[in-house]
Amino acid sequence: MKKLILASALSLCSFGAVAEVAVIVNPGNANALDAETIKKIYLGKAKSFDNGNKVNPATQNGTAIADEFNSKVVGKSSSQLNAYWSKLVFTGKGTPPEKFDSDQAVIDFVAANGDSIGYIDSNKATNKVKVIATF
């Protein structure tokens, strides 16, 4: 009986495990980005990489990894971030990152666009993209 209770408790804990977020860029991108710069990109406050190239951010729409990224990196909940971007769009002061529905869609976008940045579950990273930070 004790073993059954322990096994049940362990399985419940594993469902609460949080994925590690990997911030990715195109493999040809040599720019180094710190956490504060990544945050500024996703808030529309930084619009280019250090080399002057325009940055094209990709985000995920309604995924658990998006919630993790928004909380850990941007410091807002997904609903707060959506409200933030709605206000900027309404006032003409910004364009939100392009939204995708999966890690694979973000990987494909970043791999095809040299000026892009995105985030995925770190377990999904492939050699098609370069991981520049994990959170």
Sign of the four-CA dihedral 75, 77, 82, 86: negative
How would you label 60-89 residue by residue, b for 16+ Cβ within 10 Å and e otherwise?
beebebbbbbbbbbbebebeebeebbeeee
Tens of pLDDT, residues 55-92: 999 999 999 999 999 999 999 999 999 999 999 999 99
Token couple for 12: 């419940």
Task: Write down the H helix ranges in 1-135.
Answer: 2-15, 35-42, 64-69, 78-90, 103-112
Tens of pLDDT, residues 22-50: 999 999 999 989 999 999 999 999 999 98
How far apart are the C-alpha atoms of 57 and 44, rounded to whole Å?
A: 9
Tens of pLDDT, residues 90-106: 999 999 999 999 999 99
User: How many other C-beta atoms are found inside a 10 Å radius of the C-beta of residue 114?
Assistant: 13
How far apart are the C-alpha atoms of 55 and 62, rounded to whole Å?
A: 22
Contact predicate 20/122, CB 8 Å: yes
The pLDDT, as a whole number, for residue 19 is 81
In the block, which residue shows the tokens 């910004």? 94
Please state the pTM of the whole predicted model: 0.86
